[in-house]
Amino acid sequence: MFKIILSISLASLISISLMLICTIISKTSIMDREKMSPFECGFDPKSSARTPFSLQFFLIAILFLIFDIEIAIILPSIIILNSSNIMSWILTMSVFIIILVLGLYYEWKNGMLEWAI
């Protein structure tokens, strides 16, 4: 029992040592003001925080989140297909996709997807 604990402790110590050495070796030594400043979606972090925000950027970010959630819902439903009623599954997925397409059509018709103002 003691040999097992000793070997696990030794393996952990070696792993931690190797990770620390790799971190120290791969670390860049040149740190200037630009590299140390945070990057905020293309905005200059040293400018005023009260600058106007692009509405198109916000809408594209929201669309990305909506379709990202859509993929997270549709992919597991494909696995459920084998163990559920096929008509119920088709009806549920059709309603879900129709709602998403209608929302995209609404945004497209109102000009929310156009970059040029």
Per-residue pLDDT of the chain (117 residues; tens, 9 = 90+): 888 999 999 999 999 999 999 888 887 666 666 666 666 665 666 666 666 767 777 777 887 888 888 888 888 888 888 888 999 989 988 998 899 889 889 888 988 777 665
Helix (H) or strand (E) holding 75: helix 55-80
pLDDT of the residue at 71? 83
Report the predicted TM-score, pTM, of the whole model to 2 decimal places.
Answer: 0.49
pLDDT for 31 equals: 67
Amino acid 16: pLDDT: 95
The whole-number pLDDT of residue 108 equals: 86
Residue pair 52/43 in contact (Cβ under 8 Å)? The answer is no
Given a contact cutoff of 8 angstroms between Cβ atoms, the answer to whether 29 and 13 are in contact is no
Residue 51 CA to its chain's centroid (Å): 26
Residue 39: its pLDDT value, please?
A: 63
C-alpha distances in angstroms, 78 versus 27, 87, 92?
43, 14, 12
